[in-house]
Amino acid sequence: MPGQFDGPRDIGYDPARECYSIEYDRTRDPPSIELIVAIATIEDRGTDEVEPLYETIDPDALDAIFREESEATAHRNGRLSFVFSGREVTVWAEGRIDIALTDAERERATAASDADGPESEEQDGVNWGRDPTGTEESEDTSMR
């Protein structure tokens, strides 16, 4: 299926909201697959190492609700939130998934912020935030 496994996605991190965001194409990318790939990327693991989504939510139902032509999306106020892999996840009708930090990541980010100063800084009109996983800095790509 096109879109499902055609490479890693751009995952933005928003330090103000303490969450990662990924955008996907609702016409071709099932949010269940995008979520698993995003979690694996964030946690630097293989997709087969991420806990099964079906233990939390029915992946087929999730995909059906957020399929572009689905009328169910409107009845969910455009979003669905649940906890998966220790993270609060919100799937948005417009084709975005927000993935909150784990408690451990939040604690590391707070400790790093206390030790290093401000959590983010503005350069050239771009808000750069510290990635709580400690791997690198990433651009704020929040769509709110």
pLDDT at 71: 59
Q: Please indicate, yes or no, whether the overall pTM of this predicted structure exceeds 0.85.
A: no
Count how many Cα atoms sit within 13 Å of the Cα of residue 85 in the half-sphere of its side chain: 22
Mean pLDDT, the chain, rounded, equals: 77
**What's the pLDDT at 128?**
39
Q: Between 56 and 133, name the one with better pLDDT.
A: 56
If you average pLDDT over residues 19-40, what whole number do you get? Answer: 92
**Strand pairing class (87-92; 19-23):** unpaired
User: Which pLDDT score, from 0 to 100, does residue 28 have?
Assistant: 86
Beta-sheet strand order (sheet of 79-84): 11-14, 19-23, 96-100, 87-92, 79-84
Please tell me the predicted confidence (pLDDT) of residue 115.
Answer: 76
